[in-house]
A and B are shown apart, each in its own frame.
Chain A
Amino acid sequence: MPESADTNRLPRSMARLDAWANRLFGSRYNPLYQSGTIVVVLWLLLLVTGLWLLLYYRVGAPWRSVAGIAENPWIGGWIRGAHRYGSDAAVVATAVHALRMFLQRRTWGPRTLAWVSGVVLLGVVLVSGWTGFVMVWDWFGRELAVGGARLLDLLPLFSEPIARAFAGDRPVGNAFFFINLFLHVALPLGLGAVFWLHVSRLQRPLLLPPRALGWSVVVAMIALAVVIPAPLPPEADPYRVPSAIPADWFYGFWLPAVDWFGPGSVWAGFALGTIGLILVPWLTRPKVADRPAPSRVDSQLCTGCQQCALDCPFEAITMVTRTDGRAELVARIDPARCVGCGICAASCAPMGVGPEGRTGRDQLRAVEALIDSGRVTGRVVAFGCDRGAAALGVALAVREVEMLAVPCVGNVHTSAIEFLVRAGARLVLVLGCPPRDCWNREGPRWLDERVHHDREAELKARVDRRRVAIAEVDPLDSAAALALMDRLIRERNLDPPVAADRRPALDLECEPVPVEEDR
């Protein structure tokens, strides 16, 4: 098994935070893993509550109409609160999601489109929030309007500065509030279109968190709105300069900088930040030599079963007609979409696809070498994901556990597991990441289905299931991994096998093109 460098791990602080959240909420409901889908839930919450608020909002009397909503506990003080706190939480969740993607280096190559559209989403979220707060036309709304106008006035677009509109010498027209309202409806809807682009390169994008978590988020927002009602500062008044303005820092974080450093510096900050974020895919791209090789198809071996095209999480595989006269289709990889995760390698029973060095055949060869070196029979062998459990290798080696690092547990071919069991491994552990945090999106999911639910390229029925276990582990907690191992050995009564099966013959296993496999 090719050993990979541990360049791609999360920083310890983040890994520790993940571990804590896993302990508190369980990995399935860990909100850090679900930050992207939580934004979607919040977006839906904002649409519903926003539609309700729209019924009561008046362009001709913005602040009064919002005050009417805020005062009325039945028509919606709490709905307004949920709308506001929901939009705040959306900024936090978006930032966490983006930070995770950044730290996991899911930024470059085939993910460039997702990253860049993500930056656009972030911008649209912030501008939508700006329009929302301006709509209220309270002290803070006016402050945001003036701050925004001061920024726009630096662009040579308008002969009369926009900020003049808020100076107080004439009333701010209904037209302004109407356009603002239009933007506040249109931008969040436009967000939907950009979001479609954001996930357009993913197969089966996970749009929502597990139901319980999604509803918990909604309930938490409503509860917060009931317990701490959203504030409503006094109506905007151009003839007053309050010494303190209750401000929403999630959307107004830049306002003090306009005062302190001037609008030019704030522009420069925004421009540099945006350019920096947009360039991330190119700045974080590894050197060509360090990039994972894309997958390849051996058209001789491919039987056209389509399983790899079904399993690839990045829609990098299509089935095309063959040119060699055989009737069936053949898989074709689009290298521009392939992230090199190797998941396809494990979905192919005839082992005809996968990144170089990581196909099913390559895995069997590595396992064979390990068996020959005498490090399998009677021992525990673990497959560990490069991004996570492989880090436990050194700690587990003390207990003579053989750690095989893989780029993703979804890459582990069931035949490799079978070989190890048949060669007398006491236990074959596949130590993966939490499914909702798989850097390749669907690795642990397909692994589980192949081992336990007969998904194509399944672990054969003849394999002693007691000797195979899949587990999620905390890569910082070797004690827990060892305890898990001991527990499995104890509970499953896993003495070292008395006699190993024959050394499996690789040639016999792989060579016949298995058009008529015994399935």
Chain B
Amino acid sequence: MIRAVRGIVGGLVVAAGGVATAWLSAAPIRPVLGGRAVVRLVWSGRPERIDECRRLTDAELEAVPAHMRLRVKCEGRTVPYALRVVVGDREVFLDTLRGGGARHDRPIHLFQDIALDPGEHRVRITVERLDSAAAAVTADSLPIEGTNAVGGREGREAEERARARREALPPRLVLDQRLRIEAGAVVLVRYDPDRKALWFDPGG
């Protein structure tokens, strides 16, 4: 090949490589949610815990290593919740929410995008406790003994359980509202732990 032609063709090949690189460096991807109207459920909350509690005898307590002694021994589980999203009269999402962690005893963390057509919709979101077990038998109804092997610890344990109960999700949450969502917009559904209520956050 003549030198000049070789130079030109070589230059063209390099230029084509450059253009291809630049193109692949900015070629569009189209996310599946792209351009839809998105309701994003994003919140965390503690699932309610149902405990069966019993006070250990002094002898039982002695058998436990000192640093692990709890006067009141509770065995329990956290309850699952049903999450339903209904748009208009169509159920678009149904799921069972459980606490995180292997034993489901951690908070529920929810992050779920639901894509709708842009426009105005009536959106109804319910979170309902699935476990209908009778009110938990808790140790807090048991009389607290003033002094025992672990001193004031029993009181602290009871307080801890009470706090967990206060922070737990209520048995039923409902958010029912008309919403206008533009194409490509996201409206968050968040949980306010103080009011114990769900709310729409359109951001911005």
Which residue in chain A gives the minimum CB-CB distance to B14?
A: A220
Q: Which of B13, B28, B38 contacts A241 (CB 8 A)?
A: B38
In the complex, the chain B residue whose C-beta lies closest to that of A247 is B29
A204 → B minimal CB distance (Å):
29
Q: Render B34-67 as a binary contact track against A, CB cut-off 8 A, 1 for contact.
A: 1110101011100000000000000000000000
Provided the pairs A246-B27, A250-B24, A252-B29 are in contact, do residues A168 and B186 lie with their beta carbons within 8 angstroms? yes
Q: What separation, in Å, do the CA atoms of A89 and B25 have in the docked complex?
A: 10
Q: Which stretch (A222-230, A296-304, A378-386) binds chain B?
A: A222-230
CB closest residue in chain A, given B11: A24
Given contacts A89-B21, A224-B22, contact A244 B14 (CB under 8 A): no
Q: A23-B1, A159-B101, A241-B38 are in contact. Are A248 and B184 (CB under 8 A)?
A: no
- B19 close to A (CB within 8 Å): yes
Q: Determine how close the nearest CB of chain B comes to the CB of A479; give it in whole angstroms.
A: 15
A241 touches B33 (CB 8 A): yes
Chain B residues near A160 (CB-CB < 8 A): 44, 100, 107, 109
**In-complex Cβ contact of B31 among A143, A168, A246 (8 A):** A143
Q: How many A-B residue pairs have CB under 8 A?
A: 128
Query: For residue A225, which residue of chain B has the nearest CB?
Result: B22
In the complex, how many angstroms separate the beta carbon of B48 from the nearest chain A beta carbon?
Answer: 18
Q: Is there contact, CB below 8 Å, between A242 and B184?
A: yes
Q: Which of B134-142, B152-160, B196-204 contacts A (4 or more CB under 8 A)?
A: B196-204
B30 close to A167 (CB less than 8 A): no
Q: Is A503 an interface residue (CB 8 A)?
A: no
B124 within 8 A of A: no
Bound: A247/B99 CA distance, A: 36
- B10 adjacent to chain A (CB < 8 Å): yes
B32 partner, pick from A89, A164, A247, A259, beta carbons under 8 A: A259
B6–A228 contact, CB under 8 A? no
Q: Is the CB of A249 within 8 A of B185?
A: no
Which residues of the partner chain A approach B6 to less than 8 Å between Cβ atoms?
A: 23-24
Determine whether A255 belongs to the interface, using a CB cutoff of 8 Å to chain B: yes
Question: Interface size of B by Cβ–Cβ distance < 8 Å?
Answer: 46
Nearest to B44 among chain A residues (CB) is A160
**Nearest chain A CB to B164 CB, angstrom units:** 16
CA distance A256 to B203 in the complex (A): 26
B21, B26, B35: the one contacting A92 at CB < 8 Å is B21
Assuming the contacts A92-B21, A245-B31, asked whether A169 and B43 have C-beta atoms less than 8 A apart, the reply is yes
- Chain A CB within 10 Å — which of B22, B32, B109 has the most? B22
In the bound complex, residues from chain B placing their C-beta under 8 Å from that of A248 are 24-26
Q: Is the CB of B186 within 8 A of A240?
A: yes
- Which residues of B lie under 8 Å from residue A161 when comparing CB positions? 109, 111
Interface bracket on A: 35 or more
Q: How far is the CA of A92 from the CA of B13 in the complex (A)?
A: 15
Which residues on the B side are within 8 Å of A247 (C-beta)? 26-29
Known A88-B21, A224-B21; contact A246-B36, beta-carbon cutoff 8 A: no
Residues of B within 8 A of A167 (CB): 40, 42, 111, 188
Q: Do B100 and A159 have beta carbons less than 8 Å apart?
A: yes
Asked if A85 CB lies within 8 Å of chain B CBs, one says yes
Q: Is A182 an interface residue, CB under 8 A from the partner?
A: no
Asked if B28 and A240 make an inter-chain contact with CB atoms under 8 angstroms apart, the answer reads no
- B21 CB to nearest A CB, Å: 5
Please tell me if A74 contacts chain B, counting CB pairs below 8 Å: no
For the complex, give the distance between the alpha carbons of A260 and B30 in Å.
11
B18 interfacial contact with A, CB 8 Å = yes
Which chain B residue lies CB-closest to A230? B25
Contact B18 A241 (CB under 8 A): no
Q: Report whether B42 and A143 are in contact in the complex, using a CB–CB cutoff of 8 Å.
A: no
Nearest chain B CB to A383's CB is how many angstroms away?
A: 28
- The closest CB in chain B to the CB of A217 belongs to B14
The contact string, 1 if C-beta is below 8 Å from chain A, for chain B 94-109, is 0000001110001101
A242-B188 in contact given A23-B1, A249-B24 (Cβ < 8 Å): no
B184–A241 CB distance below 8 A: yes
Task: Determine whether A25 belongs to the interface, using a CB cutoff of 8 Å to chain B.
Answer: yes
A140 to chain B, nearest CB (A): 8
Whether A88 contacts B25 in the complex (CB less than 8 A), given A24-B10, A25-B10, A163-B111, comes out as yes
B9 touches A (CB below 8 Å): yes
Q: Are the CB atoms of B188 and A85 closer together than 8 Å?
A: no
Say whether A450 faces chain B, with CB atoms less than 8 Å apart: no
Contact A246 B203 (CB under 8 A): no
Determine if B202 and A239 form an interchain contact, defined as CB atoms under 8 angstroms apart: yes
Give the interface centre of B31, B101, B187 by most chain A CB atoms within 10 Å. Answer: B31
| Cross-interface CB contact of B203 among A84, A168, A245, cutoff 8 Å | A168
Interface centre among A143, A160, A231 (most CB of B within 10 A): A160
- B161 part of interface (Cβ distance < 8 Å): no
In the bound complex, do residue A231 and residue B25 qualify as a contact, i.e. CB atoms below 8 Å apart?
yes
- How far does the Cβ of A215 sit from chain B's closest Cβ, in whole Å? 13
A residues near B30, Cβ cutoff 8 Å = 243-245, 256
In the bound assembly, the distance between CA atoms of A243 and B31 in angstroms comes to 7
Complex CA distance for A246 and B27, rounded to whole angstroms: 5
Q: Mark interface residues in B114-147 (1 if CB within 8 Å of A CB, else 0).
A: 0000000000000000000000000000000000
Within 8 Å of chain B (Cβ to Cβ): is A238? Answer: yes
Residues of A within 8 A of B100 (CB): 159-160
**Given A230-B26, A247-B27, 9 other A-B residues pairs in contact with their CB atoms under 8 A:** A84-B25, A224-B21, A239-B186, A239-B204, A240-B184, A240-B186, A242-B35, A243-B184, A250-B24
User: Which 3 residue pairs spanning A and B have beta carbons closest together?
Assistant: A243-B35, A239-B203, A244-B28
B residues near A (Cβ < 8 Å) are 1, 6, 9-10, 13-14, 18-19, 21-22, 24-36, 38, 40, 42-44, 100-102, 106-107, 109, 111, 183-188, 190, 201-204
Query: A interface vs B, CB < 8 Å?
Result: 23-25, 84-85, 88-89, 92, 143, 156, 159-161, 163-164, 167-169, 220, 223-224, 227-228, 230-231, 238-250, 252, 255-256, 259-260
What are some 29 contacts across the A-B interface (CB < 8 A)? Answer: A23-B1, A84-B25, A85-B18, A85-B25, A88-B24, A143-B29, A160-B109, A164-B42, A164-B44, A167-B40, A168-B40, A168-B188, A169-B190, A227-B18, A228-B18, A230-B26, A238-B203, A239-B186, A243-B31, A243-B183, A243-B184, A244-B28, A244-B30, A244-B34, A246-B28, A247-B28, A247-B29, A250-B24, A256-B29
